[in-house]
Amino acid sequence: MTPAPPLLVLLLLFVSISSTPSTEGTATAVVEESSPTPTAWPLQFHSLLYTNNSGELSVVDLWYDWPNSRNFNIIQHQLGTLLYDLEWDNGTSFYYTLDDSRHCQTYHFDVGILRPDWLDGANYLGQQRVDGFLCNVWEKVQFIWYYEDVETKHPVQWVFYTGRSVHVMTFEVGAVLEEAQWQAPEYCFEKKEGENPKFQSIISEGFQQSLMSKKYLKGP
């Protein structure tokens, strides 16, 4: 559904004010329906995501925990590495494995994790059926396109400007990962000469995507 032009919105508001109570309710519904706003993320949730980046597939176990200032992406690359991406709101991110390779790389960003209302200011584009769901669609800063189920208000998919698509398979509001899982392994705090080039190549894409997301979507 295309948003109503400003003049039409003003006319609808005028009609709703000057009409009978029953007509007023109908007109108000039309105005609200013409420009929906994206639902803020729950303060805590768990989601299983399926991502496709130009044919490179992965499954992401996402744990979002705003009250405790942290976000966790556990990324299984297709037939490849299981990568842990632990992010804190102070700007620190740990990328590591838990296998015998004991790889870990630490980064420090100027910004922390995304706010629950990171979609504030997004442009409404109308409705579209995606993955079998009727969705409201928004775009923000020509960086991301976000699809939200009209009925449940849960995210269904988002697509980055690069074409990388993220499909939401599960969405558990209020789910919290046990505390012990939020601790990066001890070898992340050991001084190292340099990280394995292969591991660097594995995390480089995720690092760049995370950096750009924080930069463009964090907001003031």
In tens, the pLDDT along 6-48 reads 333 222 232 232 333 332 332 233 334 568 999 999 999 999 9
Which tokens go with 90? 């102070």
Residue ranges in the chain modelled with pLDDT below 70: 1-34, 192-220
pLDDT for res 35 = 83
| Range(s) of the chain covered by CATH 2.50.20.30 | 37-220
CA distance 145 to 216: 13
pLDDT for res 15 = 25
The CATH number of 37-220, from 3.10.180.10, 2.50.20.30, 2.40.160.40, 3.30.413.10, is: 2.50.20.30
The single residue listed with the structure tokens 């991502």 is: 51
pTM of the complete model: 0.76
In sequence order, the 6+-apart residues with CB closer than 8 A to the CB of 89 are 69, 70, 112, 113
